[in-house]
Amino acid sequence: MAAKFIPRTVFPFSESIPRSYFLGHHKAGLEKMKQKVDSVNYVIECRDIRIPVTSINPLFEEALGAKKRLIVYTKRDLLDTDSVFRKNKERMRKLDEKTPVFYTTSTFATSAKPILEQLKSDAQRLQEFGSCQVMVVGMPNVGKSTLINCLRNTGVFKPKAAYTGAEPGITRKVGTPIKILDDPNQSAVYVLDTPGVFVPYMPDGERMLRLALCGCVKDTIISPVTIADYLLYHINLNTPAVYERWSKPTNDISHFLDQFAHQTGILGKGGIPNTDQAALNFVHKWRAGEMGSFLLDDLQLELSERKRARHLEKPSFGGKGKWEAKIEADKIAGRSRKERKREERKQT
């Protein structure tokens, strides 16, 4: 009898995984957003539904923190199993309890309608301020420009106005206002597209891999075989049967890619498998929703960590979400709560 397959429970991270991807247009874009934030009524923060925690950028808390915000989890179609979505929907809402949360998909433009309804009712209240402006922000490639096109299509029945693409870095500058709602008796609503912004340094290799797997980092930054291996690790923890047409369940990425390349014809000279291309194709299949539907972030763990941290450290200020932002910033900076406290004491 064949031995039962046991998936890896821990991914073997290499210290050599690149941790930075903060480009010139990210920095310039963030500066521009800071300049514009006072003149907008709302910020829509987009997060990729497959990485609802990892796609939060703490730089936005600092730069745009006080502005009224809506949170949109994009790419809902890529979490195609209803039970996975249902199980995690409430957890996602709990990440930001005081902020309206929406879920959208480009496969169904009217999924953006609830956002329009919220903006419309607010625009009516804000009529005295004239037109309402909304800035759409988020990590690279999470679907900001696509969301704007869905809002425009549903709100004013116009074709797409923002460039989109499968690579991060399609939008390079803060754009000009795009109309998404227009009512002769009410305020018009305009949105500003912005470039995706990464963090200056990602101390946590696993978060870097999650972002890379979801396409928030250019595919040339991290070896495609490493990204494919990280994907294989997650698929094995969920449903290894999704790749049974190419290989038996395995934890060995070289063996898997060899089988995959031979059976899908990704071969170089002399019939030798083109391993990097095979790795990329495998990852692209997952990004297209063909290799199973699961979250890469553990929301239950995140919520319990936040609860524990809240217990240890009662916030001494009332700013909405500031305390969570500090925890996020600690994670990004790779420092402990004690180290931050020490730094804060030094500053006072």
Ligand X SMILES: Nc1nc2c(ncn2[C@@H]2O[C@H](COP(=O)(O)OP(=O)(O)OP(=O)(O)O)[C@@H](O)[C@H]2O)c(=O)[nH]1
Interface residues toward ligand X, by CB under 6 A: 74-75, 77-78, 105-107, 138, 140-146, 164-166, 168-171, 195-196
Report, in Å, the least distance between residue 345 CB and ligand X.
38
DSSP letter string, 47-108: EETTSTTTT--HHHHHHHTTS-EEEEEE-GGGS--HHHHHHHHHHHHHHTTTS-EEE--TTS
Report, in Å, the least distance between residue 141 CB and ligand X.
4
Report, in Å, the least distance between residue 174 CB and ligand X.
11
Report, in Å, the least distance between residue 221 CB and ligand X.
14
Contacts of 61 (CB under 8 A, 6+ apart): 321, 322, 324, 325, 328, 329
The partner in contact with residue 165, picked from ligand X, Mg ion, none with C-beta cut-offs of 5 to 8 angstroms by kind, is ligand X
Give the nearer residue to ligand X in terms of CB position, either 178 or 257.
Answer: 178
Contacts of 168 (CB under 8 A, 6+ apart): 140, 141, 196, 215, 216, 217, 218
The partner in contact with residue 273, picked from Mg ion, ligand X, none with C-beta cut-offs of 5 to 8 angstroms by kind, is none
Contact 282, 264 (CB under 8 A): no
Dihedral pair phi/psi, residue 146, rounded to 5°: -65, -40
Give the nearer residue to ligand X in terms of CB position, either 58 or 140.
Answer: 140
Q: Is 149 in the site for Mg ion (CB under 5 A)?
A: no
Give the nearer residue to ligand X in terms of CB position, either 162 or 299.
Answer: 162
The partner in contact with residue 240, picked from Mg ion, ligand X, none with C-beta cut-offs of 5 to 8 angstroms by kind, is none
> ∠ at Cα 196 (195, 197), nearest 5°?
110
Q: Binding mask 167-186 vs Mg ion (x if CB under 5 A, - otherwise)?
A: ---xx---------------
Give the nearer residue to ligand X in terms of CB position, either 196 or 224.
Answer: 196
Q: Which residue is nearest to ligand X (CB)?
A: 196
Report, in Å, the least distance between residue 162 CB and Mg ion.
6
Contacts of 283 (CB under 8 A, 6+ apart): 213, 219, 224, 227, 228, 231
Give the nearer residue to ligand X in terms of CB position, either 106 or 281.
Answer: 106
Q: What's the DSSP call for residue 181?
A: E
Report, in Å, the least distance between residue 73 CB and ligand X.
10
The partner in contact with residue 75, picked from Mg ion, ligand X, none with C-beta cut-offs of 5 to 8 angstroms by kind, is ligand X
> Smallest Cα–Cα separation from 73: which of 91, 61, 58, 59?
91
Q: At what angle do helices 205-213 and 224-238 cross, to 10 degrees?
A: 90
Contact 127, 187 (CB under 8 A): yes
Give the nearer residue to Mg ion in terms of CB position, either 166 or 272.
Answer: 166
Interface size with Mg ion, residues (CB under 5 A) = 4
Query: How far is Cα 317 from Cα 269, in angstroms, rounded to an integer?
Result: 64
Give the nearer residue to ligand X in terms of CB position, either 5 or 163.
Answer: 163
Give the nearer residue to ligand X in terms of CB position, either 166 or 237.
Answer: 166
Report, in Å, the least distance between residue 70 CB and ligand X.
16
Q: Is 141 in the site for Mg ion (CB under 5 A)?
A: no
Report, in Å, the least distance between residue 30 CB and ligand X.
12
For 101-152, give the secondary structure using H, E and C: EEECCCCCHHHHHHHHHHHHHHHHHCHHHCCEEEEEEECCCCCHHHHHHHHH
The partner in contact with residue 142, picked from Mg ion, ligand X, none with C-beta cut-offs of 5 to 8 angstroms by kind, is ligand X
Contact 70, 42 (CB under 8 A): yes
Q: Which residue is nearest to Mg ion (CB)?
A: 171
Give the nearer residue to ligand X in terms of CB position, either 50 or 207.
Answer: 50
Site residues for Mg ion per CB under 5 A:
144-145, 170-171
